Chain A
Amino acid sequence: MPKLIIDNREVTVPEGTNVLEAAQALDIVIPHFCYHEALGAVGSCRLCAMNFLEGPVEGLQMACMIKAEDGMVVSTVDEEAVELRSHVIEWAMTNHPHDCPVCDEGGECQLQDMTVAGGHSRRRFHGPKQTYINQELGPFIQQEKNRCITCYRCIRTYRDYCGGTDFGTFGSRNRICFGRFQDGRLESPFSGNLVDACPTGVFTNKVFRFKSRVWDLQEAPSICPHCSLGCSTIPGGRYRELQRVKPGINRETNGFFICDRGRFGYDHVNHPERPRQARLDGQQATVDAALTAAAQRVRQMVEQHGPDSVAFVGSARTSLEAGALLAEWAKRTGSPHLLFETHRERDRAARILVDRLGDRACSLAELQQSDLLLLIGTDLIAEGPMAALAVRQAVRAGAQVVVIDPRPIDLPCSCTHLPVGPERLPVFLDTLVTRKTEALTDAERNPLQALLEQLDAAKTPALLGGADLLGSRGISRLLDAAVALDNNERPVRVVGLLGGANSYGGALLTRSPRDFDTLVDDIQEGAIKALVCLESDPYRECFDPARAQAALGRLELLVSFDCTPNLAAQRADIFLPSRPVAEMAGSFINNEGRLQAFEQVIEPGISIRETSSGDHPPREFSLETPGALPRPAWQMLAQVLDLPGDLPAIRQQIATADERFDALTSLTADETGPRITDPVVLPDTAPDELPQCVPGETLPLLPVQGFAGSDWLAHLSAPLQPLEGEPTIWLHCDLAVRLGLAEQDQARLTTPLGHCHVTVRTSARMADNLVLVPHLWGTALEGLVPGGRHIDCRLEKEVNL
């Protein structure tokens, strides 16, 4: 631990810290541009000069490039250093355009801050400024090359950290600029991070462009609701509209960045069809009246038909507090039917994972330390994009990655990919547990034996699996494999990619050993007559949507709490408008068991720009804010249960009733939360239903998640529409040839659910004899649910009439 003196103050820092960070430990902030904690130091901006007075290094040096050593004496306020910094700023400003009034970065612009801090205020250069021609980089990133100060942060973010390949450096000497090889949408799913990485306004958020100045935004720390990783975000809203999302800094989980789905998926909050009125039997009603009616009718149902006739279903996107109160309601009615996931496989997988994860849990930061990662049955970019980024950092540090999956997995790093059919995955997992290779084919044996050797030799191995493809059986076997591969020196870590932001929390709260699929049977028979849905969609997000929709039509009472216009919200007898994450405070438990709180950013309401067209006569005024009726789900449930309606009281209540959630009472949004590991009510066993990929008359269909279009909340977000594209299917090249199809052909997909026009994509890196269908909301592919009932299909080339 080197000890050094900075500005006459002593500081001791961990080995390997650079002097810039050491100064920051003393709260001394030196102007700098190109240094970034996540991107490392390159010394290209020359701004962080300090005068090293004594010690192993002397003279004017760039503090970010020098590692702290014992005996160093550094001065940050030395005249020479101050003057040098002022000259470096002057040099950087030589070509900077006069853009501040029209530049989005203003207010969070590092260049502005450093110019004022560096002390350069009088311009001496009066010559012409160098200009460049901008490129079109897609719907997310706006580029203004003139503002560049060549700090190389964009390159280091996009290429080095995020693994993108279509963005690079052009030019040389004093004509350097950064751009894409040709105009077009940036391909990386992490391209939005350019906005945060760039210290000036070269890359700005095109969706947010010109909407607000950043100091006008109401911001608060929050958690991204789009996948189970629970990255920290800072959403910003103004005038009753959520306008952008910025990554929050959390060194345990997402680090400094977020994926594009989290960055641009916020617009579901502003969706024009978002239900904001409570409804009672098809008529608009007040929230209070609807709540009273809901409580009353559920009670009546229980009185008339017994507690078994009511089922309570939450979801993975509902907050922990709302889930706990739903559980309380279920307990009071005596109903045994309490679930937090309508999707059967995700529910079962989540519960098994939560039950057995324990100390094997692995945060994204810990994942970056792994030296061998086995991804089995998981497409990280679709199911947990930031995990893919963590895997890449591990690879950059020298790790090996092996992927066993039927899909043409795209990772932002090199990996060894074994594309096998989904029915082979359990066989592989068995081999990892038992080390017996009899069940393997010849082609599979060698790679798997090599893999076993690697796993044994690895110092920090990690296994990653996804709920959709592995199911509960697969996740259970994955955990068995982890146990089998443990050795005395180290445990094997496991990362499970679950269905939603609070899947882990829902698994903890679930009390029924049954899954929703069996509940659908009961509903069909009439044993269950009432269903209370908390922010879930039992019609479409389940194992067999067709059967579920038929059954749900037989319900006598459907109560739905939601903030999105899904089928449950539309068909509910009693509907209560709830709030999305950005409009309330609450907490989630992410896939590694970390309890994290989020705070309220904005109040609900129809955005001001929509409440008047700007004509004369001027808009009407009222005492109520339009569209402000939605309430947090936990608050409405508290009212049903006659509990006090403020969050601290509710958290206290939950912690008292269930000691697993003790940490709720002292939880704040800024800290990294504690891990919760506890036993769970396990699901009953159920038969495996993985598609068998054997050639035949019909082809097995494997619906899978895609990066865009599969997450319901992200689908409702307008900025992400350009990513969704047309319905597509993926075939192995050989299969395509056999079917007479080629890349980009139009085909007709026929399933028991109907026909669908699709575009054909082919790949050599996927399993043969399989039709991969990325799930796409809002299209005919909507009914093909990842991890759902196995369906066969036919595929024919579409004939143009």
Chain B
Amino acid sequence: MSEHAAVGKLKGKFSGSVLDVVEFRGETTITVKKEDIVAICTFMKKDLGYNFLADLCGVDYLGQTPRFMVVYNIYNVTTKDRLRIKVPVEESDATVDTVSVVWATANWHERECWDLMGVSFNNHPDLRRILMPADWEGHPLRKDYPLQGPGREPYQGRLK
């Protein structure tokens, strides 16, 4: 399967960076170190043909270290393959290099990740809030941010 081929090639070139490979319901997820993300993404796009970044988001694993994961869902238009790359991000150093140099579409996705999750992106051309008002405090999609918003009586419904 070409998915495995991509994984094999990635492991060959960046053997030190690949932390984990998981296959679930026919989808492959590769966890890599965040320091190499730009190099890896450039490799994926230029050499392996994953020219389309479908989605970029952050996930908050409050209570675990590393706290955040930034997830890149990429797609190869020619071979019609999907692949997922994840980078773990510590809470103490919640920054990742921007991949908007690789895929221009990452620009707004990363802005949203910064806005809602608080993971900032180094060298981003325009890192500011996108969905929340510009003067908003806090990162709403984090797990420790209250569902009802700041300054209100607690949400009375299901919490998990």
Is B153 touching A215 in the complex (CB atoms < 8 A)? no
Contacts of B153 in A (CB 8 A): 625
- Let me know if B25 is at the binding interface, CB within 8 A: no
Contacts of A216 in B (CB 8 A): 156
Contacts of A625 in B (CB 8 A): 153
> Nearest-CB distance from B146 to chain A (Å)?
15
Q: Is the interface of A mostly helix, strand, loop or mixed?
A: helix
Bound: A215/B160 CA distance, A = 11
Instruction: Look across to chain B and name the residue whose beta carbon is closest to the beta carbon of A218.
Output: B156
- Let me know if B158 is at the binding interface, CB within 8 A: yes
Bound: A215/B158 CA distance, A = 8
Bound: A216/B153 CA distance, A = 16
Instruction: Look across to chain A and name the residue whose beta carbon is closest to the beta carbon of B158.
Output: A215
Bound: A215/B156 CA distance, A = 11
For B119-160 the 0/1 string (1 means CB < 8 A from A) is 000000000000000000000000000000000010010100
Within 8 A of A (CB), among B95-121: none
For A319-344 the 0/1 string (1 means CB < 8 A from B) is 00000000000000000000000000
Instruction: Look across to chain B and name the residue whose beta carbon is closest to the beta carbon of A625.
Output: B153
> Nearest-CB distance from B27 to chain A (Å)?
26
Q: Is the interface of B mostly helix, strand, loop or mixed?
A: loop
Within 8 A of A (CB), among B37-70: none
Bound: A216/B158 CA distance, A = 8
Instruction: Indicate the size class of the contact surface on chain B.
Output: under 10
> Nearest-CB distance from B160 to chain A (Å)?
11
Contacts of B156 in A (CB 8 A): 216
> Nearest-CB distance from B102 to chain A (Å)?
43
For A213-247 the 0/1 string (1 means CB < 8 A from B) is 00110000000000000000000000000000000
> Nearest-CB distance from B66 to chain A (Å)?
25
> Nearest-CB distance from A622 to chain B (Å)?
12
Instruction: Look across to chain A and name the residue whose beta carbon is closest to the beta carbon of B154.
Output: A603
For A610-638 the 0/1 string (1 means CB < 8 A from B) is 00000000000000010000000000000
Bound: A216/B159 CA distance, A = 11
Contacts of A215 in B (CB 8 A): 158
Bound: A216/B156 CA distance, A = 8
Bound: A216/B157 CA distance, A = 7
Bound: A215/B159 CA distance, A = 10
Contacts of B158 in A (CB 8 A): 215
> Nearest-CB distance from A600 to chain B (Å)?
12
> Nearest-CB distance from B148 to chain A (Å)?
14
Bound: A215/B157 CA distance, A = 9
Bound: A787/B118 CA distance, A = 64
> Nearest-CB distance from A219 to chain B (Å)?
12
> Nearest-CB distance from B149 to chain A (Å)?
16
Instruction: Look across to chain A and name the residue whose beta carbon is closest to the beta carbon of B153.
Output: A625
Bound: A440/B153 CA distance, A = 68
Bound: A625/B156 CA distance, A = 15
> Nearest-CB distance from A628 to chain B (Å)?
10
> Nearest-CB distance from A611 to chain B (Å)?
14
Within 8 A of B (CB), among A198-223: 215-216
Bound: A701/B158 CA distance, A = 56
> Nearest-CB distance from B30 to chain A (Å)?
29
> Nearest-CB distance from A74 to chain B (Å)?
29
> Nearest-CB distance from B72 to chain A (Å)?
34
Instruction: Look across to chain A and name the residue whose beta carbon is closest to the beta carbon of B159.
Output: A218
Bound: A625/B158 CA distance, A = 22
Instruction: Look across to chain B and name the residue whose beta carbon is closest to the beta carbon of A239.
Output: B156
Bound: A215/B153 CA distance, A = 19
Within 8 A of B (CB), among A54-71: none
> Nearest-CB distance from A253 to chain B (Å)?
28
Bound: A216/B155 CA distance, A = 11
> Nearest-CB distance from A619 to chain B (Å)?
15
> Nearest-CB distance from B71 to chain A (Å)?
29
Bound: A665/B158 CA distance, A = 30
> Nearest-CB distance from A130 to chain B (Å)?
37
Bound: A512/B156 CA distance, A = 47
> Nearest-CB distance from B159 to chain A (Å)?
10
> Nearest-CB distance from A793 to chain B (Å)?
54
> Nearest-CB distance from A420 to chain B (Å)?
57
Instruction: Look across to chain B and name the residue whose beta carbon is closest to the beta carbon of A238.
Output: B156
Bound: A769/B133 CA distance, A = 83
For A683-727 the 0/1 string (1 means CB < 8 A from B) is 000000000000000000000000000000000000000000000
> Nearest-CB distance from B53 to chain A (Å)?
39
> Nearest-CB distance from A599 to chain B (Å)?
15
Bound: A545/B156 CA distance, A = 46
> Nearest-CB distance from A606 to chain B (Å)?
15
> Nearest-CB distance from B96 to chain A (Å)?
33
Within 8 A of B (CB), among A15-71: none
Bound: A625/B153 CA distance, A = 9
> Nearest-CB distance from B157 to chain A (Å)?
8
Instruction: Look across to chain A and name the residue whose beta carbon is closest to the beta carbon of B157.
Output: A216
> Nearest-CB distance from A102 to chain B (Å)?
22
> Nearest-CB distance from A54 to chain B (Å)?
34
> Nearest-CB distance from B155 to chain A (Å)?
11
> Nearest-CB distance from A211 to chain B (Å)?
15
Bound: A625/B154 CA distance, A = 12
> Nearest-CB distance from A20 to chain B (Å)?
28
> Nearest-CB distance from A225 to chain B (Å)?
25
> Nearest-CB distance from B77 to chain A (Å)?
43
> Nearest-CB distance from B90 to chain A (Å)?
25
> Nearest-CB distance from B118 to chain A (Å)?
25
Bound: A134/B156 CA distance, A = 36
Within 8 A of A (CB), among B73-105: none
Bound: A252/B37 CA distance, A = 52
> Nearest-CB distance from B158 to chain A (Å)?
7
Bound: A195/B158 CA distance, A = 25
> Nearest-CB distance from A533 to chain B (Å)?
33
Within 8 A of B (CB), among A107-160: none
Instruction: Look across to chain B and name the residue whose beta carbon is closest to the beta carbon of A215.
Output: B158
Bound: A254/B156 CA distance, A = 31
> Nearest-CB distance from B107 to chain A (Å)?
42
> Nearest-CB distance from A290 to chain B (Å)?
25
> Nearest-CB distance from A399 to chain B (Å)?
45
Bound: A181/B1 CA distance, A = 73
> Nearest-CB distance from A370 to chain B (Å)?
43
Bound: A593/B156 CA distance, A = 37
Bound: A775/B156 CA distance, A = 41
> Nearest-CB distance from B151 to chain A (Å)?
11
Bound: A292/B143 CA distance, A = 39
Within 8 A of B (CB), among A406-464: none
> Nearest-CB distance from B147 to chain A (Å)?
15
Bound: A270/B7 CA distance, A = 62
> Nearest-CB distance from A601 to chain B (Å)?
13
> Nearest-CB distance from A217 to chain B (Å)?
11
> Nearest-CB distance from B133 to chain A (Å)?
23
3 A-B pairs whose Cβ atoms sit less than 8 Å apart in the complex: A215-B158, A216-B156, A625-B153
The 3 closest A-B pairs by CB, nearest first: A215-B158, A625-B153, A216-B156
B residues within 8 Å of A by Cβ? 153, 156, 158
